[in-house]
Amino acid sequence: MSKSFQISRRSFIRNCTLTAAATGLPLWFVERELANAAESTPKPLGPNDRPGIALVGCGGMGRGDAGNASRFGDIVAVCDVDAQRAESAAKQFAKNGKTPATATDFRKIMERSDVHVIVQGTPDHWHTLVNLAAAKAGKDVYGEKPLTLTIDEGKHIVKAVRDHRIVFQTGTQQRSERKFRMACDLVHSGRIGKLKQVSVFVPAGLREGPFKTAPVPAELDWNFWQGQTPNVDYVKERCHVTFRWWWDYAGGPVTDWGAHHNDIARWAIGLDGPVSVEARALTEPIPNGYTTPSEFDATLMWGNGVKQVVRTTVDDTWFGGIVKESGQRNGIKFEGTDGWIWVNREDLSASNEDIITNPLPDNATRVEVSNDHMKNFFDCVRSRRDPISKIEAGHRSACVGHLIIIAMRVGRKLQWDPTAEVFVGDGAKEGNAHLAREMRKPYDYSFVG
């Protein structure tokens, strides 16, 4: 054995040991993960091989994503209908004496030849039109979750991504976290026997109001911000962080944390979508306040007999727009005939320690591997392969939340055809009426050509 190989082998073992200690995952899992990553990592980008990045939506999530993306490219432009936010983001991402260009209309960004990648961090009701414009302009996209506001929008964006051959990564970053991936590997390998039930727990939303109308801030284009949604008087609580608690713009806790956990649940279940759904709101909104219920529960049945329960828990609630996690009730529990696995961003545990500590055989079924969601995206920008949260996965996982919302709003159990993506049987007409929403002109699909 050569000395150089001995040294690299020693280094590899040391890295595995340190990673296992830091993550709390078993050494056998980390060794296999790092070995696979070492074999598949593309050549690092050079200083002159960095794509131009534009940020559309300059709130906290968007800026966080853009900062993450700046490891792999250069922020050359930022866009927000709130001019003050755009200016602030431009200052934040100024580098080497160069300040990113600013815009308030994202369509101007799509015209720039120096922009190759779009980081999209807008409120949910703008996701689809921004993503469609980027696809038509040939820009690759890192798009925040949930992918869409409606199921119909998902069909449009899947088609556009494939027709224009862009790389699209949905921001369901838990697919790039080892704990969630290991949980799925263990479920797929039959470590807990036959999967019977998946329980998803998400933080409760906000239940507040009534709210008063107010003058529109001078820096905000309120009409543009509302986009496809009905035109209403400006209310501060409708905008920016708390947009997620209004039906007009989002789906409340169902599509907030639910978008993350339902994605992992669907990954483990291994099917495109459920075959039935029923849901109910557990709280009534306050008149003239937030319109999405702060608490709900739902039950979905999948074609392989797995029952999925999704519910809010008041152990984890929102304070000032920031979720406070107790760590034990915001996560996913997989229950099988031979045991259970619990996973969230802080913990991976099981009914029997051997479920986790015993190595899986080399021929075990394993999901794709990514340990860095943004890096995985930029690796795929270079290789032109699909990233770990490809467009179809983003759409199908978003549909789980949309189905819950539709069943909640219709008020009855509904049957779903996951292949045709329509409701069937009793209540189908009522359910299918919610697959799309009327889009206020001019902010419909024609807005982006």
Question: Please, are residues 142 and 73 in contact by the beta-carbon 8 Å criterion?
Answer: no
pLDDT for res 30: 72
pLDDT for res 116: 97
Q: What's the predicted TM-score (pTM) here? A: 0.89
Give the H/E segment covering residue 202.
strand 195-203
pLDDT for res 365: 86
Tokens describing residue 414: 């509904």
Sheet with 74-79, side-by-side order of all strands: 101-103, 74-79, 52-56, 117-120, 140-143, 168-170
Amino acid at 198: V
Residue with tokens 């602030």: 88
Distance CA 161, CA 170 (A): 12
pLDDT for res 124: 98
pLDDT for res 26: 79
Distance CA 290, CA 245 (A): 6
pLDDT for res 107: 98
pLDDT for res 391: 98
Total number of residues shown for the chain: 449
pLDDT for res 313: 83
Give the pLDDT of the chain (449 residues) as one tens digit per residue: 444 434 454 555 566 666 666 667 877 667 666 666 555 555 554 445 799 999 999 999 999 999 999 999 999 999 999 999 999 999 999 999 999 999 999 999 999 999 999 999 999 999 999 999 999 999 999 999 999 999 999 999 999 999 999 999 999 999 999 999 999 999 999 999 999 999 999 999 999 999 999 999 999 999 999 999 999 999 999 999 999 999 999 999 999 999 999 999 999 999 999 999 999 999 999 999 999 999 999 999 999 999 999 999 875 554 444 444 444 478 999 999 999 999 999 999 999 999 999 999 988 989 999 999 999 999 999 999 999 999 999 999 999 999 999 999 999 999 999 999 999 999 999 999 999 999 999 999 999 99
In the three-class reduction of DSSP (H, G, I as helix; E, B as strand; rest coil), residue 74 is classed as: strand
Which CATH class name applies to 177-366+392-448? Answer: alpha beta
Question: Please, are residues 347 and 328 in contact by the beta-carbon 8 Å criterion?
Answer: yes
Question: Please, are residues 367 and 185 in contact by the beta-carbon 8 Å criterion?
Answer: yes
Question: Please, are residues 78 and 54 in contact by the beta-carbon 8 Å criterion?
Answer: yes
